[in-house]
Amino acid sequence: MKVGVKFCGHCAMHMDMTVLYGALRLALPEIEFAYASASEKWDLLLILNACPVACAGRPVFDGPVITVSPVAVDGWPVEPENLLEELAKRLKNAENRY
Amino acid sequence: MKTGQEYKDSLRGRNIKVYFKGELLDGNTLIDNPYIRGHVNSAAMTYEMAFDPKYEDLLTATSHLTGKKINRFTHIHQSVEDLLTKVRMLRAVSLNTGTCYQRCVGLDAVNAVYTTTFEMDQKFGTNYHERLVDFLKQWQENDWMVAGAMTDPKGDRSLRPSQQADPDLFVHVTQKDDKGIYVSGAKAHMTGMVNSHWMILMPTSGYGEEDKDYCVCCAVPVDAPGIIHIFGRQTNDGRKEEGEIDQGNACYGVVGGECLTVLEDVFVPWDKVFMCGEFQYSGMLVERFACYHRQNYGGCKGGVSDIVIGAAATIADMSGYSKAAHIKDKLNYMIHLTETLYACSVACSAMGTKTASGAYYVDPLLANVGKHNVTQLIYDIDRIAQDIGGGLLATLPSEADLRSPEVGKYVEKFFKGVASVPTEDRMRMVRLLEVMTGGVALVESMHGAGSPQAQRIMYSKLSNLEAKKAAAKKIAGVKP
């Protein structure tokens, strides 16, 4: 499964999402991650927002999307220290379906 | 798009003439000059961040002219979301530089000229807008840094341009021929000018017919024949010839590296002329530029204030008083003031509207309120930061003393705070706070994008006082 990753721009950095992204890549070596660019295709879009406003622009994409902020995943509250675990669980589930 | 390094390299080939402390600097090595280097690094950040996936959502846009991915500092705002993204971008860049990165001025100039020329052409049948679009395509393709040049020296402020004893106190057209125009005068307080590729000259105010020769807007290379720049001095700038610590922000400097730009019969071909005598639109151009530029201040100063708050809080940590209730209270107040500034920039963007050209324009009243707040609240933020920072901000010995074989041990010993924190780190943080809260940094907040009176003037014009009086009369039962 290929996951396209999009960052918000970090104008109000409550959490450095590049650090979370790095940890996610280490935790899930079986999943291919790449920055979401218009020229590439991916199976799932992961949008990483550095603050709760979660304002990142969303590329045109019809597939599944996971939107993350320091306090939530897809709008569901998640403690910051549990974000990695929660995301890993969701991505593994998505991979199993894929 | 250019990378940061490509931007720096592109500055070396210019034939620019910059004077500093009475000497003409070598154009090829200008960007390495210790007094200028930091400002170049800061501007380069606007290029570097556009290539970083972490920031590209803010720093890039899609050109409405070519459909290509461009640096947002060359973009014409196509929506309210674009206006909001601009503010977020400014805060993000400030968080990485801690100072001005200069490039917003050209961005604001081109958006103002874009919207104004479109309307002016409808009125007069001119083709200024088409010329600007052609220039903008080159600008976006080459990812130029363009300085916005508005403020004239102004001489006797009680006199209009044509009444001045010296006509050069305002930039004006001296002659025209079939190839173009010639302009003379000067522009003051030019942010980022010496590390730009081009400048956009604009009139400094709205004028009547008697001053139509002063109603000129055009694009000129910063190294065109007839142009010299005289680089300004800054508070404590001699520290730039010494070590790193005493500079406070050695990598990026303080404010924007301003200069006086002198123009003597500078030739501008017609295809780079966007206004020439249309005095009826000079006021519109100035007002639009001013409002776009005033929109910025809660974004950029918000980010700069984030650094000031961080520095003050870190000094409190390093000195062992961060748990004191009054320190927490003061930090919270600084956050309150900073977010107030940011809120105004967000608000004037959110209330932005579409112009006839299709480009979006901020709510001018809220933009002015935001900048006006900056002329006051930054002083409050910095005053509280100095309160937290302590007298050390004014009395700290130099880096040379820290390194001295004779007295370094005393500096190390007596300027230590919490035992686990190296004295050098504490000194670095104190110096950062010192340079960010005094001297040129404060003056820039007062006068950049217009002095406070320039914003006050806009209030009566934009807020409709008569409607407020009518509403009060209605509620009080006073018949009209």
Q: Which of A8, A12, A18 sits opposite B57 (nearest CB)?
A: A8
Task: Tell me the C-alpha distance between A14 and A83, whole Å.
Answer: 14
Does B104 qualify as catalytic in the annotation? yes
Location of structure tokens 């809220």: B366
Q: Which of B300, B314, B342, B348 is catalytic?
A: B300
Residue ranges of B for the binding site for FAD?
191
Residue A85 predicted with pLDDT over 90: yes
ipTM of model: 0.86
Q: Report CB contact under 8 Å: A11, B303.
A: yes
Residue B196 predicted with pLDDT over 80: yes
Task: Tell me the C-alpha distance between B350 and B364, whole Å.
Answer: 12
Q: Chain A neighbours among B 61-100 (CB < 8 Å)?
A: 84-85, 88-89, 91-92, 95
pLDDT score, position A40:
80
Residues of A with CB under 8 A from a CB of B: 5-13, 17-18, 35, 55-57
Amino acid of residue B2: K
Tally of structural domains, chain A: 1
Reduced to 3 states (helix: H, G, I; strand: E, B; else coil), residue A9 is coil
Task: Give the CATH number for residue A33.
Answer: 3.40.50
Amino acid of residue A89: K
The CATH architecture annotation of domain B284-464 reads Up-down Bundle (1.20)
Closest CA to A82 of A23, A8, A40: A23
Residue A38 predicted with pLDDT over 80: no
pLDDT score, position B234:
95
Mean pLDDT computed over A26-48: 91
**Percentage of the residues of chain B whose pLDDT score is greater than 90:** 98
Say which residues have a Cβ less than 8 Å from residue B353's Cβ, sequence separation at least 6: B360, B361, B363
Say which residues have a Cβ less than 8 Å from residue B290's Cβ, sequence separation at least 6: B368, B449, B450, B454
| Chain B residues whose beta carbon lies within 8 Å of the beta carbon of residue A12 | 88, 91
Q: Where are the alpha helices (DSSP H) in B351-404?
A: 364-389, 392-395, 399-403
Mean pLDDT computed over A71-79: 96
Beta strands in B114-160 (DSSP E): 146-149
pLDDT score, position B403:
98
Residue ranges of B for the binding site?
191
Q: What confidence category does residue A50 fall into, taking pLDDT thresholds of 50, 70 and 90?
A: very high
User: Residue ranges of the domains in chain B?
Assistant: 4-81+104-281, 284-464
pLDDT score, position A98:
75
Task: Tell me the C-alpha distance between A61 and A43, whole Å.
Answer: 9
Q: How far is A96 from chain B (nearest CA, A)?
A: 28
pLDDT score, position A41:
86
CB B370 within 8 A of CB B344: yes
> Mind listing the pLDDT tens digit for each residue in B106-115?
999 999 999 9
> Mind listing the pLDDT tens digit for each residue in B126-170?
999 999 999 999 999 999 999 999 999 999 999 999 999 999 999
Mean pLDDT computed over B49-65: 97
CB B449 within 8 A of CB B359: no
Which residues in B310-330 are b (16+ Cβ under 10 Å) and which e? bbbbbbbbbbeebeeeebeeb
Tokens of B376: 């006051």
Let me know if domain B4-81+104-281 sits in CATH 2.40.110.10. yes
- The H or E element spanning position B461 is helix B452-462
Q: Phi, psi (5° rounding) for residue B22?
A: 85, 0
**Structural domain boundaries, residue A64:** 2-97
Reduced to 3 states (helix: H, G, I; strand: E, B; else coil), residue B335 is helix
Q: Which of A7, A10, A35 to mutate: most B Cβ within 10 Å?
A: A10
